[in-house]
Structure 1
């Protein structure tokens, strides 16, 4: 029965993507089928084999070390501000982003990161049936973030046609940046974070290939990566330190606003209707949770967390998940955890449109016009990744 529901879920997701397709006749199903099979194989390796366990432990171990190093800096500045036995979210989860941002800056500066992004992007382009630009952009989004990625291709941003721009933005919304990954690993199991990162990479191409199918002319498939302005090493360090701190402050501010707003709305709904707003959202999203492989008895609770992520952001949803995870089965916890690891929410529309608009006003307006379709596609990517995991768990 588990596999039947998973297959049904897969058909529903692909069907919903096809429903929103710009050109159903142009959809190339061969690379889509290959990528779905690759997703299943990679999910199985990561979650069900000793090799996968070693890979995840190594990946998690690296971030565990990085968070310890980051803690040394945080403790030096904020030591003694917390009571014994307490771990304030801002200090332990958000501020380490500053240190990880610095490491990304160093790898960018010594040209290691661009080399990795180009190499993996080239390999991906051979699998996904899309261009080098789209493949590079997907990897770059995962490395440097959904806003910063557009700076790396700003040389050609103004010349990119609308259909290719949609794919670039869809990749940016479906993936998550490395600077945030460490924060996620403090909130949900690292193995689900790593699995989601891999699955979303392919899922973004699968859904974009259906919603927005096109063929890239080899003569037009040119990748022009913007070289960063020449800076001294310490100028670069200062810039990335401030960028990381800005991200931590912005996420912290959004959490304060969204968590407070959700608490207020829940209170009003409970007062008027005798049920919380999240519970109402849970009923709306319960069918989606069910086709993702969540047992019906847990579908309402899971659906509420999924809706919270869509309406607010993944951090708020992960906090909510932490409060109810003891009541969830390991299978449901794994499926929902994978669903949460992406930037697919309403605020991301503004972030991506704003980032593009800052580099090209015309293209920023284009992104704003297809913003809802962008979110629709990115949400389907998250659902698809969760369904793939449901085959394995």
Structure 2
């Protein structure tokens, strides 16, 4: 039964994306089929094989060690009052490690290790997805550098890009998550779901972009010019990345305070007037999508509520809510977890358009205009990834 629901789910995602397509006649179906098959193979390996368990275990172990090192730093600064009564505040345990992970990313960038990895993985992907080298590079870079920082590395080409190519770059940035935040996700979700989502979203972004925004890149256009970072001393660079990580942590904390409080207030008002919370109401709206992702109908409303929470606020708020729903089955938790691992939410429209606008005002305004379509496509990526993962849970 779950296979039939998954097939229906994939067809629904493809149908909804096809309706919003910019150029239906230009869609190339062969790369789409190849990437769907690759998604299924990779999901099976990661979720259902010993090799996959070993890979995820290794990835998880590395991040556990990194989080342990990060906690030594936070313990030194906050230990006097952060750990009393045996509990650690969310800001300390989940958000502060972003500072340390950001510093590591800066070191790998400084010694040209990350640029080498990103460039050559991108070149391999471009042979599979039928897209340009720039689009493939950007997708990999987004998953490591983050949805705003990635545009700095391609700023030489931003001003020359036509609207359709700019859309694909922004779609990749919204569909993935940055490596600096992955450790924080692993504190709230099982690592196997985080890793699976990272891999599936990478290909899912290409699949949905190929449907909603199909085009061909000519050999003359298929040029990749990566902006070299300004030459700094090692410690200048390290200080900059540490401060960038701290800014991310503070920004996420501020967003959480605001969104959690607003959702609580709106829930209270809806409960007072309609005797149903706002999240429960959204749960009914999103329940059909949860069902085609493979969630049992008895749990679809709760799962739909978590999906809607992520969309209207952010993934951190939804992940915190997911941890409270101990009544959900392991399969539902797995499917919803995969859905939650992406930057597809309303606030990301502003973040991405703002990042592009900082480099090129005209292009930033273009991004703002297709912002809702960007979010629509990125949400379809999350739904597709959850459907594929549900096949093997």
1:19 Cα deviation after fit: 0.5
Aligned to 2:278: 277
For residues 245-272 of structure 1, the C-alpha deviation after alignment (integer angstroms, 9 at most, x for no partner) is: 0000000000000001111111111111
Aligned to 1:184: 185
Matched, 1:81 2:105: no
Q: Distance in 1 between matches of 2:118 and 2:85?
A: 42
* TM-score, normalised via structure 1 length: 0.99
Aligned length: 392
1:279 Cα deviation after fit: 0.4
Q: Distance in 2 between matches of 1:347 and 1:373?
A: 14
Q: Distance in 1 between matches of 2:208 and 2:390?
A: 18
For residues 351-391 of structure 1, the C-alpha deviation after alignment (integer angstroms, 9 at most, x for no partner) is: 00000000000100010010000000000000000000111
Q: Distance in 2 between matches of 1:390 and 1:196?
A: 11
Q: Distance in 2 between matches of 1:277 and 1:157?
A: 40
Aligned to 1:312: 313
Aligned to 2:10: 10
Matched, 1:118 2:144: no
Matched, 1:135 2:136: yes
Aligned to 1:293: 294
Aligned to 1:171: 172
For residues 5-51 of structure 1, the C-alpha deviation after alignment (integer angstroms, 9 at most, x for no partner) is: 11000000011110000111110000000000000000000000000
Aligned to 1:97: 98
* TM-score, normalised via structure 2 length: 0.99
Q: Distance in 2 between matches of 1:256 and 1:122?
A: 41
Matched, 1:372 2:390: no
Structure 1, unpaired ranges of 5+: none
Q: Distance in 1 between matches of 2:186 and 2:128?
A: 29
Aligned to 1:154: 155
Structure 2, unpaired ranges of 5+: none
Stretches (4+) displaced over 4 A: none
Q: Secondary structure, in 3 states, of the residue corresponding to 1:343?
A: coil
For residues 147-170 of structure 1, the C-alpha deviation after alignment (integer angstroms, 9 at most, x for no partner) is: 000000001110011000000000
| Coordinate RMSD, CA, aligned | 0.5
1:67 Cα deviation after fit: 0.3
Moved more, 181-190 or 79-88: 79-88
For residues 317-363 of structure 1, the C-alpha deviation after alignment (integer angstroms, 9 at most, x for no partner) is: 00000000x10111101000000000000000000000000000010
